[in-house]
Every structure is written in C-alpha cells, then in structure tokens.
Amino acid sequence: MSVLFFHTMRYKVQDPRNASNDRFVLSKGHAAPILYSVWAEAGFLQEAELLNLRKIDSVLEGHPVPRQTFTDVATGSLGQGLGAACGMAYTGKFFDRASYRVYCLLGDGELSEGSVWEAMAFAGFYKLDNLVAIFDVNRLGQSDPAPLQHHVEIYQKRCEAFGWHAIIVDGHSVEELCKAFGQAKHQPTAIIAKTFKGKGISGVEDKESWHGKPLPKNMAEQVIQEIDDKIQNKKKLSPALPEEDAPVVNIRNIKMPSPPTYKVGEKWATRKAYGVALAKLGHANDRVIALDGDTKNSTFSELFKKEHPNRYIECYIAEQNMVSIAVGCATRDRTVAFASTFATFFTRAFDQIRMAAISESNINLCGSHCGVSIGEDGPSQMGLEDLCMFRAVPNATVFYPSDAVATEKAVEIAANTKGICFIRTSRPENPVIYNNNEDFHIGQAKVVLKSKDDQVTVIGAGVTLHEALAAAEQLRKEKIFIRVIDPFTIKPLDKKTILENARATKGRIITVEDHYHEGGIGEAVCAAVVGEPGITVSRLAVSHVPRSGKSAELLKMFGIDKDAIVQAVKVAVSKSRNAE
C-alpha cells in the first residue's frame, strides 16, 4: 500500500475523485483500516479520525463505501473488486483514452470466487494494459489456510493462462514492488505478492486465528514501538500528480433526439423496442454505452452495437462480471451504462446488483424474455423471480413497459435516474397502445381503459396488460365493464391511482402477472393498499415451475390469460352480488 500510494500512483490528494487520478480498488474490503491509514498519511483524512473506525457517526465504516470520497465502489462481498476495476480500466483505455491506471488489491482467499476469474478472462481478452491486480498471498483465510497456501507459482501459471503478465514478488520488499509496478506490458499485469500475515510480530506472524482481531493492548504497544524503531526516515511522502488528460464529460439531462415513431396497433416486442430506443439514445450522448452477455441478438442490444460499435462491450456469458463491469464503467460519472441479458440470468448476479446499490451506482439493467410467455424454451430461460429481486434492491427503480412507446420512454428516463434501474422486457409482439406524444413518469400509472360502469379494476403489465384488454372486450359483450391499469413502474408503484380507481370499482382489484406470486405485481399492490378499508385484491400469477409450450398455451395453463381474467372478474362480481 505504501509503495502504491507514495511511489507508483498519480493522484491529487485533496481531490480523490478527479477524473484523471489513478484508481484504486480494495477488493479485500475487510482490510479497510489500511486504506483509511494511507489516506490519513497522504493528508486527506485527519489521523485522529482513524480512532473512530466503525463508529456510527464516522464515515470510516467496517468496509469501504462511496460515502468516503476516496472510494469508488463498495467492497467486502469478496470477489467483486476486480470486475469493477476492469470496468474502470476499459473506460480509461477505450472511452476516456486517458493515461490514468487502475490498481486492484485482492486477497488470496477471494481467489476461490469464480467472479474473479470472469474478470481475469475479460481483462486478458481486451488486453487492459492499464490494469494492475495485486494478489496478497498471505496463505491464511478467515477460518483455514487458503487452498493454494504459498504456492505462488500456481497463481502465476493461472494468471498467464488468462492472458496476464504475472510477476512473483516478496510482498514485504519495497524494492521488488517498486520494480514490479514499473514493468509495462501490452497486457494486464498481476503482481503475486508472497506475504506473511502479522509479519514481524512475534507469536502472530503466519499464525491462524488472527483474522479480523486486534492485538491485546499491552502487546499492541510493544509491537508499535518495535515498528517505530525500524523506521529510518520520517520524511513526509507526497504522491506524484496525474497527467490531466481525462476529457470533460456531461451525462446530465440526456434527451432522445426525436419522439417515438410507432403507430397505434402495430405489433412490437418490447425487447426489440429496447434495442431501438438504446441505439437512438446513443446519438443523444456519446457517453451512453451498452453491455451484453452474448444475448445481443435476443435482447436487441445488437441494434446499439450496429450504430455505435465502439461503445458496445461484449461481456460474453459471465453475467456477474457484466454487472461489475457496468458498475466500474459508471464510476465518477464517466458513462451511462445499459447492460442487458435474459431477466432470469440476472438472478446469478444478485450479489453484484446488491453491492452496486451499496456502491450508489447508477447502472441500468434490461432483462428480456420474462415470464412463461417466452414459450418453448422452458423454465430455465423464463424470468419469473426478477421483479421480486429488483424490488428488494434499495433505491432501485423497476420499469415494466407494456408497449414500444412506453419502452422508449423507460430507456430515456432510466438514463437520467439515480440508482439501479431495471427494465423488464418481453418476447411476444403486442400492439402499440400509446400515442408517440404520451408522457410517462416514474411512479405514475396509466388508466388505459375506463367507463362510469366499471365494476372491477384489473392491473396488468407487459403481456398481461394486453390479456386484460382482450378480457375487457369479451366482458363488454356480456355488459360487464372493467377498468384496466398499466403501472409502468412496479417500484415505485402509483398507490394513489390504484386506490382512486379501486374505490370507483367497489374496492375490487385483480392483479395479473407473468411472474411468480412471490414479490411481484400482486404483492406490490397488496403492500400499497394494506389497511385501506373496503379493498379486496385477487392475484393471478404463475403458481409453480412451468414447462415448455406455446406462449398462449402457457398463459392459459397458469391462469394468466384473458379467459382466466374473465373468470376472475365474474367471480369477483358474483361474490359482491351474493353479499348484497
């Protein structure tokens, strides 16, 4: 850390987030005290503040978080720092084309995480020669030794196999570290530092059971004195200043260059409308970027790639790493990142999404192929838990557009919204129902069908909104009228509109969704109306693990098609009549 911060890295101490500064990611976030100590030594933090570590009124938390201006991404859930560092390095090399470098310190314990090797593969493939990973191979994990212990030559071979220049060093040798950091190659560099936990402390060095434990007071005083006696030169060190060549970037208030150009009644899949919208947004700002995990011809992010090839990042089938890359790209407001894959594949990246929220990241994720409506591909490809997952993420916005116009508006709004944004898109083609000049807002639902004679309010989104409209048409022939609501965003949900319309339809609400019962639209609506007198909610949703079949067959099988809605409406109306 001392060699990095006071010999190798170039940065402005009093401006830690300067766009031209070298970046540092502490992937082994539990080592946060050393990070705080170097910033105190550099003069950014007051030394006295270090004594407030982990206290509730201090910014120095147990693991790094972006509340600290010298921290770009939160770490502590191990194995994620290198992916974010890759995103920063990719941005520096290909988007900023600046001279800043990115350094990431990993512990040997977290090298068991598959996400580390997804990031290693990414960096090797894209030859991120502005990236340096430092492996702290101290042999000891939290409860047991790490699997490779001090076999540093095996780490070296693994790194080389992933396309990295790998150097083994004595991690306690300032000279060796200075020399290693100075080696420039046309590939990423891995410095494999053999270290000993508790080096120089009698009874502690290379011993188990000291992870995360402070030394007893009398022992600590003696050790501090021993270390102090070894310091030969107490001259204050200052880091070198960066070359200020990172471009000025403005990603605020990004507007579509023109309105949507759809025709009411035309059939469009919202997944395709997403690709069209993203490609269009790319013309509005050259900092809009797209990422995908080898599904671009299904999510239609390929349309963005076709028009903006230099701003598309292929992450291949490594969804965890894709989310981390997006987080890294979006740090310091350098880009507006949109990452897409099948909605169901984001479930494997939930920890990365959770940490992105803790990182206060502004990334946009689009999940296509949601629900049983995708048809023959079967349950492994069907996103049926994604609404539940993203609703649980703090400060997330969950868009569920029901036609092409709404999808284009969702993309534009997401680009200008803080926090994690999730856009849920569908495979089937459904008619355009909104005019191109329709205005959309977060947390504002649309009443797409209403009359003074409505008896039930039906809430659907995506394919089920169209099923609800078809059900309304069928019920109208029997002189039964329903009100149909499109929520647009599931989080936040438009509680006011839902309650107003429910009260106008005798308190009856039916929700219908292409998602499991747990955590979806039905539960969101129930949470919104809980405690409200006279309101009843009936929920139609996918009740168990589905199977392959045609889209219409599956909607029918799981009771979320127009016929099921018709039946549910009749039951709700007859119940009320019987009660009267």
Would you name the residues annotated as active-site residues? 319
89 three-class SS: helix
Measured between alpha carbons, how far is 155 from 164 in angstroms, rounded to an integer?
11
Token digits for 397? 């916005």
Q: Which residues pair with 364 in a beta bridge?
A: 338, 421
Beta strands in 444-507 (DSSP E): 446-449, 456-460, 482-486, 489-491
Measured between alpha carbons, how far is 375 from 373 in angstroms, rounded to an integer?
5
Q: Would strands 288-292 and 336-342 be described as parallel, antiparallel, or unpaired?
A: parallel
Half-sphere exposure at residue 320, Cβ-oriented, CA atoms within 13 angstroms: 22
φ, ψ of residue 344 to 5 degrees: the values are -65, -25
Residue 232: count of CB within 10 angstroms of its CB: 5
Q: Are 289 and 305 contacting, i.e. CB atoms less than 8 angstroms apart?
A: no
Measured between alpha carbons, how far is 426 from 340 in angstroms, rounded to an integer?
13
Q: Which residues pair with 267 in a beta bridge?
A: 431
Half-sphere exposure at residue 459, Cβ-oriented, CA atoms within 13 angstroms: 30
φ, ψ of residue 460 to 5 degrees: the values are -135, 170
Q: Write the DSSP symbol of residue 236.
A: P
Half-sphere exposure at residue 65, Cβ-oriented, CA atoms within 13 angstroms: 13
Q: Which residues pair with 485 in a beta bridge?
A: 447, 459
167 three-class SS: strand
To the nearest 10°, report the CA torsion of 568, 571, 574, 576: -80
Residue type for position 434: Y
Measured between alpha carbons, how far is 534 from 511 in angstroms, rounded to an integer?
17
Residue type for position 204: V
**Sheet strand arrangement including 456-460:** 446-449, 482-486, 456-460, 508-516, 536-542
φ, ψ of residue 469 to 5 degrees: the values are -70, -35
What string of DSSP letters covers 497-547? HHHHHHHHTTTEEEEEEEEESTTSHHHHHHHHHTT-TT-EEEEEEE-S---
Token digits for 197? 């936990």
Question: How far, CA to CA in Å, does 53 sit from each of 37, 47, 78, 380?
Answer: 11, 11, 21, 45
What string of DSSP letters covers 9-29? -B--TT-TT-TTSPEEEESSG
Q: Would strands 288-292 and 312-314 be described as parallel, antiparallel, or unpaired?
A: parallel
350 three-class SS: helix
